[in-house]
Structure 1
Amino acid sequence: MSKLAADEVAPEEPLPEAGPEPGEGGGGPGVTAGRSRILRRREALVGLAFVAPMLALFIVFRFGPTLGAAFLSLTDYRLSGEWTFTGAGNYTRLLQDDLFWESLGVTAVYTALYVPMTVALALGTAVLLHRTLWLRGFFRGLFFLPYVTSIVLAAVIWKWIYELEDGLLNATLGALSLGPVDFLGSESLVLPSIAAASAWKGFGYSMLILLAGLQSIPREVTEAATIDGANGWQRFRWVTLPLLRPVLFFVLVIEAITGFQVFDAMYVMTAGGPVRASYSLVYFLYDSGFKFFDFGYASAVGLVLFLVVLVFSLIQRRLIGRDTD
């Protein structure tokens, strides 16, 4: 066979693919992955640079006072600026102070009254709003209005309502021949009365959170329960509440923290009376720091309050929120 015929029969060899020119980003998968990591790290640094100013302010103004209070609790610090290191002296004194234990008991009782009132009112209102289609936005804003009202203004209004002589509540009871009741002057009624006023003031925030939780529950789940023959209470008890558990846990923790920090309502409505029946732990802190200027002792009270709230939140997490993840 001639050379020309052999060339015609032999298959043509494929031309080699053009490789990347120098500087065009070649180098294989390892080089590509390395550059991807560099880009991600660069993006993270850019994002951190944007949030760094606010992060620094948050650390300074959030953790700075906390660390300062922790240091003050170990000292005998006075208004003149003079201080001496006392170690655990303030905490030892605190454990031996009957007024501290009395104010802690008042705070615990108040919280035990306030939290169920607020959560029950918020949950009931949220369920009604969830089932109401007519003017839902109007009623949602109406029920939320007390929350944005000043706590001092709300306390003054409720103090007028509870007045023994001319109060609205006692006037109504008098019309029903039930006689006047000294709501704020009775040692047994003062905490429930303040808790009811505070629940009216603060339930709107929890109501909105619970309402959002109700609206996030898939409608197919409740429809399936209805098809299976469950009535309204059974759907609420066995379907809605379990699905609402994470939101309910959050609301309980927030309201418990609010209850332990009560001060304004008691200061305005009763000034801690009668006979310190409404003398809360924060009221005790206020008197120690701003009445007797014992800042080290007041700081110790504040840290103890922090630990009490932390332990209570962990207990709630154990009892209620363990299955919410």
Structure 2
Amino acid sequence: MDRIQKSVLLLFLAISMLVANIEGKYSDGGLRVGYYASTCPSAETLVREAVSSAVSSNKRSGAGLIRTFFHDCFVEGCDGSVLIDSTSGNSAEKDAVPNQTLHGYQIIDAAKSSIEKVCPCTVSCADIVAIAARDSVELLGGPRYQVKTGRRDGRVSLASRANSDIPSPLDGIDALTRSFAKKGLSQSQMVTLSGLHTVGKASCGAFTNRLYNFSSTASTDPSLNQAYVNQLKAACPQAASTAVVDMDPVSPQVVDKQYYVNLVANKGLFTSDAAMFNSPQTQAQVVNNARLPAKWQTDVVSALIAMGEVGVKTGTYGEVRLNCRVINS
């Protein structure tokens, strides 16, 4: 990237951060730890019970809840809009291409149902998503942290917005950086949050571009570790795009530093993963995270908290949905 390109990118990032702050009529205002201490003191306990039950049965559930939190915050802000069902007159976020493999909605429903029995019309679905993601991180071996609550639920959910706003696994470093900057998140936070790809599974269709017909001169991406290529091809025959593989082939059910170790070994699954290590802008951070797992755990807490404040609706904005799948009438 030459000097002019760098200057343009820096200007874009600065403008994006300014826009994110201007949109701060929603941002962060009114969020606090213990928001429900007097109105629904059992809220976080009830969410944790639902998440713990699901994760104990299938650890993939925890990874799904973390991803749901990310996808919610990147469209309309962290407002529970990803939970809304489509109707005959509206194609909602959950039916957008990036969200069609999301799972864990029933866990959010279970938590909401338990809470409504003791604290009706009090706890937002958006807060349940944020708490569930926090609990999932911890239950999968990651750090525990306090969640600020007080989000209200949005009333807008559009598949078109999800298709445009959620970063693609095919993106390079510049496109990824722009996507995060639009949400007020830095490139460093982007690399930190990407480390959560250490848990969960991915459909073959999200990365087979690197395995078959990669370019006119190479059938596979030459930056991929050849042993890993062989492993992925065995799991993903060219026609089997609906199969799934672990995003981290080493410790796929544990929130740890392994994602970064994999990147250094040229075993990043997505094009977007490989971009983190192959780019001179972010390579040093990837290497440091592989070497210093304690620092990454500290950083990921800060990044998750920051992401959880993106475009939040508080006060008189939004609503507290009675059913997480349906906007209040």
With normalisation by structure 2, the TM-score equals 0.27
Q: Which one has a larger percent helix, Structure 1 or Structure 2? A: 1
